[in-house]
Structure 1
């Protein structure tokens, strides 16, 4: 959802946003990359910077989650 809202972020930005270690973010993003939910792109001007963003599959998965939450809230009422 963070990447949906912000478009892209680095692992360090995500670690700061979620108040966790960069190592934890890296471990979890690797799995999301393997599952084709996010993609990484190296900054051509500074190869130390790697941007993470949602893939089309990732965007669809986020939207499915939003719809499910909305349906659950409607059912709760």
Structure 2
């Protein structure tokens, strides 16, 4: 890799405030805010809106839409158009 053109890649804490969940990973994202992590070191922290702990898909609270029923209801209401 060419030196001097890539952003710094280091440890960062991502925190989901809605779920009271945080994880330490490596990233090029930076922040002025810091947090003391479980290992006693201080890392930059980035607050996120949603994570795997609060996303409906991962928590099992996702709703499944009945798209087939919606299509059938539309066809019943407006009729199926034939080829012209």
TM-score for both structures, normalised by structure 1: 0.27
Q: Which has the larger radius of gyration?
A: 2
TM-score for both structures, normalised by structure 2: 0.25
Whose relative contact order is higher, 1 or 2, with alpha carbons under 8 Å and at least 6 apart? 1
The structure that is strand-richer by fraction is 2
